[in-house]
Chains A and B, each alone.
Chain A
Amino acid sequence: MWRPVADTGALLRFRAGMVRDGSRALALAGSAGLVLITVLAGWLPAYLPDGESRRTDVLSLLPSAMVGVFVVAAISAAASGGGRELLPREEAVAFPLSAVTDHLGALVMAPLNIAWLLQSWTLLGATAYVAGPTPRLLLSQVVVVTWLVTATALAQVVGWAFELLRRSRHGVWGSRIVLVAVGAAAVQLVATDRLVPLLQRSPTLHVTIASLRVRTEVTAGFFATVASLLAVTALAVAVGVALADVVSRRPARDELRLETAAQEPRRDPGSDLVAVMRTDRVGIWRSLPLRRGLLVLTVMPGGVAIAGDLPWQLLTILPGLVASGGALLFGVNSWCLDGRGALWRDSLPVGPELAFVARALVLVEVLLVATAGTVAMAAMRAGVPTAAELAAVSCGALVVVGQVVSASLRWSVRRPFAVDLRSARATPAPPLVMVAYSARLAVSTTLVGLGFSVLALVPWEWSVVVALPMLLLSAWRLSRTAAAWGDPVTRGRVVATVAS
């Protein structure tokens, strides 16, 4: 067997072996759940009834949905410095792992991302719906699944290429210029109404046709499409390997620059709370991956809202997306911001409640800043809101931030993990746990967003009336978590874990 493939398999087994006894059944159930949802998403919608040419409408969106999978995977790979790693950098140095293994690992990890999963499930479901209950549905889905593999491999190439640019001599500025250029091109396409025609001419149109034509007959076109996609995948993997190899030889300039730069000393803090919050804040704003992630989270939904010309009534969905994404950058394992300094910090003479309040406030602050940025972007095209719309978006944002913060800190205390967020490729919890957290946050915040979207249609007072008990519920949950954090045995376990 090709050695990097064997190494990737060994790393996967190693990671699986790291799952603690109590969590193994949960991890197995989670994996089985993901497979089950994928199968059901690609099968059940075929039996949904058609109505007023709804199938034709969905059909027209399939090529764009396929492009969407690629775009989401590419942004994820580029934002995370080349994609997720199978083994954290610090632990990987002990093993003779090649860049090929690193690349294969990143490919394997790419689907363990809620954005990728949701897009893929949507695409499979939409294809099943359009194809209908035909005996050859499986063959249609073979084409779609092959596209998912191809799109992921291509996206990984984009991720490595962007990281290579970032690590080049003037890469920091180069990557910023590329981002601004891509953003400007997108704005231009939207402003001139050329985005939809462009998407309709994308190569994914041929993939869509091949996946649907196979319902009636298995032609040479079906095999040619699958073979072409596999050939592109093979090429993308080869290019990805070459890029990963070059990237691995170059220093991460932006990380090094931050770690060697002198930070201007600030005036002494005026209170204990300010002092503790200041230390918490530097853990976020001086971390390149977190800064980058927060920027992507702010700009992306805002950009989508502008491109899609979303009205204020639908902007209620955005705060949930941003807040959940922000929490998934670090909030779900909040104490890991202290890293190995957690033991020292806990030895300082300050009550646990103050440390907890500071962490919660900083999390709220970060999520509100990102959410406000997104809504401000979206508002540029949505125009002036009515009082009801403004109240619905504002109250909805406060409610989801409260929900996300209370859930994040609860998970942070219940299941701490030792992670080094120094690397852009690191996540605050293991991949399967991240998927579970993402799913739970996505479901609860989307439901709240939809609820407030309805409230945007009624007098503004209703939004306030509905938001108040929900905020109180979050506050009550936070107080319970604070009590758990106050228990010295629990706190000792959290601190010792994140510092290990």
Chain B
Amino acid sequence: MSQPVVDVRSLQVRFGRVDAVRGISFAVEAGAATALLGRNGAGKSTTMRVLAGVIAPTAGQVLVAGRDVATETLAVKRLTGYCPDVGGLVPRATPWEHLQLAARLRRLTDWEDTARDLLERFDLGAAAHRVTAGFSHGMGRRMSVVLAAFHAPAVLLLDEPFDGVDPLGVEATMEVIADARARGAAVLVSTHLRELAIDACQDAIVLRGGSAVAELSAAEMAGEAGAGVYRGLLD
């Protein structure tokens, strides 16, 4: 059996007196997409932030392509592409300047055509040189997905990518996820939108109060029966 690209073992994250994540374990294989589902405050975004190398784990081990996020943070950041749950854009910079910064720090060459293509796919071509402070919420979400996918990362981390996004934006995000899987990347999608999660992913992990309460296949989460199962896991 191949080694998983994302390997989370007994992850714990504590903020002061609050346990945000209480011993979560899961793995995502190359070419697979897994959804993190759960209510607000379930620990989804914190888990994603740890995987992106933005927040340090309090305990447990998180490996990305065999690299420990706690000790090889920079290497992990090179391997991941992260769309944060809130904003994710520098207010006074333009989309093109975001891409320019990412290209420089990720050592990308001849990146302009890829950037233009992604901006067009997400209907952001016309806004490429406007500061993002004037963007609508949906435009900001779409741009965050573009930034996460731009360098074709080995691990694509999308935190609430569908939140407030129009149907065309959702379609473009689905394509990005499918493309990532097709080239062998591991994808993690955090959302509380069950239908979109099962469209995008083949597995789902349901979190509650910082703990994983179930690991299910997308098929088990589908339809009215799946909705009932999901509803039951949230309380």
Contacts and interface: CB of A to CB of B under 8 A. Distances in A.
Interface of A: 256, 258-266, 268-269, 272, 275-276, 278-279, 282-284, 286-287, 337-341, 343-351, 420-422, 488-489, 492-493, 495-496, 499-500
Contacts of B70: 488
Given A265-B129, A348-B102, A499-B86, 11 more contacts: A263-B131, A275-B105, A282-B90, A283-B92, A343-B49, A343-B86, A344-B98, A347-B54, A489-B56, A496-B54, A499-B87
Contacts of A259: 130-131, 133-134
Report which residue of A278, A348, A350, A489 has the largest number of chain B beta carbons within 10 angstroms of its beta carbon.
A348
Interface in B163-209: none
Report which residue of A286, A343, A489, A496 has the largest number of chain B beta carbons within 10 angstroms of its beta carbon.
A343
A499 B84 contact: yes
A492 B49 contact: yes
B131 A488 contact: no
A349 to B, nearest CB: 4
B90 A265 contact: no
A279 B91 contact: no
Q: Is the interface of B mostly helix, strand, loop or mixed?
A: mixed
Q: Is the interface of A mostly helix, strand, loop or mixed?
A: helix
Contact of B97 (A282, A420, A496, A499): A282
Contacts of B15: 493
Interface in B131-187: 131-134, 144, 147
Contact of B74 (A283, A341, A351, A489): A351
Contacts of A348: 77, 101-102, 105-106
B31 interface: no
Contacts, number: 141
B53 interface: yes
A45 to B, nearest CB: 46
B101 A276 contact: yes
B88 A338 contact: no
A348 B84 CA distance: 12
19 contacts: A256-B134, A260-B134, A263-B129, A265-B129, A266-B100, A268-B100, A275-B101, A283-B93, A337-B92, A338-B90, A339-B87, A340-B91, A341-B87, A341-B132, A343-B87, A344-B84, A348-B101, A349-B105, A421-B91
A496 B159 CA distance: 14
Given A340-B87, A344-B82, A344-B88, A492 B129 contact: no
A386 to B, nearest CB: 43
Nearest to A346: B54
B148 to A, nearest CB: 8
Contact of B73 (A266, A337, A488): A488
Given A263-B94, A283-B92, A339-B87, A347 B130 contact: no
Contact of B106 (A339, A349, A500): A349
Contacts of B73: 488
B101 to A, nearest CB: 5
Q: Which 5 A-B pairs have the closest CB atoms?
A: A340-B87, A259-B134, A341-B90, A488-B56, A343-B84
Interface string B38-59: 0000000000010011111000
Contacts of B121: none
Contact of B54 (A269, A338, A422, A492): A492
B65 interface: no
B96 interface: yes
B131 A272 contact: no
